[in-house]
Amino acid sequence: EIVMTQSPATLSVSPGERATLSCRASQSVGSNLAWYQQKPGQAPRLLIYGASTRATGISARFSGSRSGTEFTLTISSLQSEDFAVYYCQQYNNWPPYTFGQGTKLEIK
């Protein structure tokens, strides 16, 4: 099973600033890595797939990148609606599909 490790667990950033979230895979997942955003009481929403491709309707403030088994989600110029929990997921080697434990992005 591929283990996905996200860091940090909680990230405090001021509105208008940039946030950088990390996700590491325990082995290669190629670029089969997705990022999801989840707000309280809501379902997860797909933000990024293929490590760097924005899903339909996702703001250009969200970008993803890959370096080997390290993945990064960057949110530029944080807006109030961006404060949420973010999960990475690998869909390369399954079953099982595996998620990271999440990073909570909170207002500083």
Extract the tokens encoding 46: 């797909």
Pick the binder of other proteins from 7, 8, 77, 94 (CB under 8 A). Answer: 94
Residue with tokens 């990064």: 72
Residue 67 CB, nearest approach to other proteins (Å): 20
Count CB-CB contacts under 10 A for residue 56. 5
Q: Is the CB of residue 61 less than 8 Å from the CB of residue 96?
A: no
Strand spans (E) along 1-108: 4-7, 10-13, 19-25, 33-38, 45-49, 53-54, 62-67, 70-75, 85-90, 98-99, 103-107
Residue 62 CB, nearest approach to other proteins (Å): 14
Residue 36 binds other proteins, judged by CB under 8 A: yes
Residue 99 CB, nearest approach to other proteins (Å): 4
Residue 89 binds other proteins, judged by CB under 8 A: yes
Residue 86 binds other proteins, judged by CB under 8 A: no
Residue 92 binds other proteins, judged by CB under 8 A: yes
Sites of contact with other proteins (CB under 8 A): 32, 34, 36, 38, 42-46, 49, 55, 87, 89, 91-92, 94-102
